[in-house]
Chain A
Amino acid sequence: MKRSTQIGLAAAGVLLVATYWGRSGSQDQSEESLVYANLAECRAGGQLTSTQCEQRFNEATANHLRDAKKFTSTSACETEYGSGSCRSAVWNGAQVVVPALAGIMLARSLAQGGGAAQPLLPPTQQACPPGSQAPECQQARSSSSGSSGGGGGYGGRGSSSSARAFSTTSGAAVVARAGSSPGVATTTTTTSRGGFGSTARSYSSSSSS
């Protein structure tokens, strides 16, 4: 026989060709990322609808356990992520300790169209050593341990809330700066973005054949 013996059309979950087609991107071509520490902050940010915020947090939560570094003890996790920053979980049937989900980050230009939301973790001890007086570390510790931090409410933050530190699951430090652009992050290790794709934009025809 010269053809595949099966494509698995009947076997559930084998042929998972997406029925979900990317919608066209938003007009905002900004390459910045949006960072939200929790659902309420996302909704208050006004960039995404309430439903979109929930979807993004659900995605990030689903990816969090898969991507986060796993530890065998709370002390080992806290040595890297700081006191009170870890929680226990079950992964592939094993008891593990992972840094807690501290927020989500997503590319602003893709936020409306379904770009992946990335889980954010508390900052590492390397970025925010114990006793650090850096304002972003103060804010990060207080928000990841659950208190509302700063001036309270969504709009009335005090000066200490102008920046917060996080880390990505791959260990990169992220500092989210509030102020004129609420929740916009700069990632210290991503030096640039968008260095590919310019030819496709200048052509009307397809990039494939």
Chain B
Amino acid sequence: MRRVPLAPRPDWQTQVERLGFAFHTIDGQTYWDESVAYGFTLAQIERDIEAPTDAIEQLCFAFIEKAIADDEILSRLAIPVGQWDFIRESWRRGDRNLYGRLDLAYDGKGPAKLLEYNADTPTALFESAVVQWDWLEQAMARGVLRPDCDQFNALHERLIAAFAQLRQPSPYRLHLACVQNSNEDRGTVDYLMDCAVQAGLDARFTYIEEIGLLSDGRFCDGANQPIETLFKLYPWEWLFRESYAANLATSRCQFVEPPWKALLSNKGLLACLWAMEPGHPNLLPAFFEGDPRCAGLAARHVRKPLYSREGANIALIERGAVIDSDDGPYGAEGFILQDAAPNLFAQDGRYAVLGSWLVASQASGLCVREDVSPITKNSSRFVPHYIEG
């Protein structure tokens, strides 16, 4: 694993915009940064990232089996009691999932360590699947990189295949929804909608705020069309607490991601996995705050709210003192404490976190995000990667 400075394409904005990538710069700050790239060996990708990603997903499935039969775990995860059966049913029915992203600490040596699982509403998908793919093609064509380089990135074709498999009979009608006024979320949903169309589906967009309730109990879109299958880029923990929460289970809607993903997209998962497999090479020691075993954590550890996005409310603690933190609105549901990763890649004043993508529970690609602090925030930059030829 190497951090390699490279000259950006002189017309890189034009090049990425031609793909429809409209948020390469966010609030005036660079987000897509091709002045540097990360190079990996094929062995690093397959042995240290791909295989552990598949293994962690299997461990997560074992955890779900355990959690749905254990009221104490569901309570620790702060899942509202009224939604427990909704979640259990979705798992027992075998509702299929589309995608997720494991965030991993990895410095090129030894096993990658799980920082968290963005199982429900991950973004950075379009830039992972398309923009960095096109970047590599051009870098090899221009002779900046050797022509036999590769990339861990089968996202695009796997997403199309997964959409066709989500529901039977296929093709089916799929609604895709996100919140108003977020270009990044809309960009992610527009990309997924394009994949769904390529899978042959009747794909329709609606805003989350537009969704209505029909008198027969089904949800409908802004044009009052009943919603049968809904991809929602909107977190389950919020849906569980809003006005229509009590209508979810009776809506006869198939949700993507399925309700059981709520058990994984929760930092409590990290403590639960460690309790199941203490010493697992890809896990960091983690406990719910207040657990006496927290005393055994490393002097340098991280405090994370059960629900948190884009690094919000996460604090890095060294010998009792907070040395880095990010403000935010989260934390009411509780916290976990986790050892700080000893293998976070750091060079030239930059920290890199790997995002290992799963599509339909299969490891399918990689993205790298860099930040000037060890906590990856919404200020982090997306940096392309390649496999050395």
Binding site for B on A (CB under 8 A): 1-5, 7, 9, 14-19, 21-22, 24-25, 67, 105-107, 110, 115-118, 168-170, 172, 187-200, 202-209
Contacts and interface: CB of A to CB of B under 8 A. Distances in A.
Interface in B172-223: 178-188, 190-191, 193-194, 197-198, 204-216, 220-223
Given A3-B152, A209-B310, A196 B242 contact: yes
Given A189-B214, A199-B238, A205-B328, A24 B180 contact: yes
Given A206-B182, A209-B123, 6 more contacts: A4-B153, A200-B234, A205-B328, A205-B378, A206-B310, A209-B310
A203 B121 CA distance: 16
A19 B22 contact: yes
Contacts of B336: none
B133 A7 contact: yes
A127 B130 CA distance: 50
A106 to B, nearest CB: 8
A208 B122 contact: yes
Contacts, number: 203
A4 B225 CA distance: 35
Interface residues of B, number: 78
Contacts of A187: 224
Given A118-B224, A208-B122, A199 B233 contact: no
27 contacts: A4-B156, A7-B134, A9-B19, A19-B20, A67-B225, A110-B210, A115-B222, A117-B223, A168-B225, A189-B215, A190-B215, A190-B224, A191-B213, A191-B215, A192-B213, A193-B210, A195-B213, A196-B208, A196-B211, A198-B242, A199-B241, A205-B312, A205-B329, A207-B178, A207-B233, A208-B178, A209-B310
B49 to A, nearest CB: 10
A56 B243 CA distance: 30
B212 A194 contact: yes
B334 interface: no
A193 B184 CA distance: 25
Contacts of A199: 235, 238, 241-242
B242 A170 contact: no
B136 interface: yes
A22 B238 contact: no
Contacts of A105: 223-224
A21 B183 contact: yes
Given A198-B242, A206-B310, A3 B136 contact: yes
B225 A25 contact: no
B123 A195 contact: no
B155 interface: yes
B157 interface: yes
Contact of B198 (A14, A172, A197): A14
